Amino acid sequence: MPSRLILPLLVALAALPAAAEEPGAWRLQSALQARSNQLGIGLLTYSGYRVKLFDSDNILLKGAFAEAGVVTQLSPASFHPGVYVQVSPVTPLVFRFATRKLGYFGLFGTVVEYPSATSDWSPNALKENQPQARSEVGSAWEASGKLQLKFGPVILLHEQQLHGLRMDAIEADHYWYESINDLLVARHDRVHIMKTTAALLLDGRTDDTFLVLGAHWETYAAAESGSTRQIAGLASLWRPRMDWWGEPAFAALAGVMLEDKYRQWTPYLGGQVVVTFDSGH
């Protein structure tokens, strides 16, 4: 079962001073992600070409960039390839637009049709319905905006995402389990995601090795099915001094589900290892 991106905001911290040394550079960022509840693992990779928008030392302009490329999301249950564009008109703001093809292998309860939004899609029901799963293809689009601020050791990060999902293979007025975000969604649906982090830089610098610890809150809401979730907890990001290729960073989230149809007040654990390659450095 695939894992959604657990801490995209904290991982973006590493790119706060992200002006490349060259006017343009090839860039690859890959994150191996895992979560405990619902159990899942996946690999999310962005590979593209980034150009600086301004040749300036101004703090608001030196990190501005435009980037376009290919995105892939792979898990034991699915493969979602697509294309994306990212634009940062000023350093604190990043906007991303992406479109993907959704491909499911017919494993781990995807894709299974449910007749109504009140159908049982609890963890036990998902296991029982696994024999009914079939391989299907759908599509998705994403539009997101991210604000990233740093005042001394204080880091504030906020992201808003809107995802459009289409699974034309199921019947009209039916629903299906979307395993990336772990939600029941309609045949055509929109999922709004909000993620906020307030953290402290405990050691190092954001453009070098560092240790960050803070509070994290995220919400999910599907417009048509009415599925919702809230998670809050402690988040950390650590990039140690390592000579490994890709300068790996390690992220973790230990929290609780404040709102969930079947798992309210249950613990949530997630983590990811991120490597970044930039030809401009």
**Averages of pLDDT over each 10 residues, the chain, 281 residues:** 42 48 82 88 94 87 92 92 96 95 84 92 89 91 94 92 95 91 95 95 82 95 97 92 74 95 95 86 64
Collect all residues with Cβ–Cβ distance below 8 Å to 124 and sequence separation of at least 6: none
**Strand pairing class (113-114; 210-222):** unpaired
Position 19 scores a pLDDT of: 44
pTM of the prediction?
Answer: 0.89
Whether the CB-CB separation of 145 and 93 falls below 8 Å is answered with: yes
Instruction: Look up residue 28 and give its two tokens.
Output: 């690859």
Sequence spans of domains, the chain: 8-278
Tell me the CA end-to-end span of the chain in Å, nearest whole number: 35
Residue type at position 30: S
pLDDT at 206: 74
Q: Is the peptide bond before 148 cis (omega within 30 degrees of 0)?
A: no
Architecture per CATH, domain 8-278, reads as: Beta Barrel (2.40)
**Parallel/antiparallel/unpaired status of strands 175-178 and 93-105:** unpaired
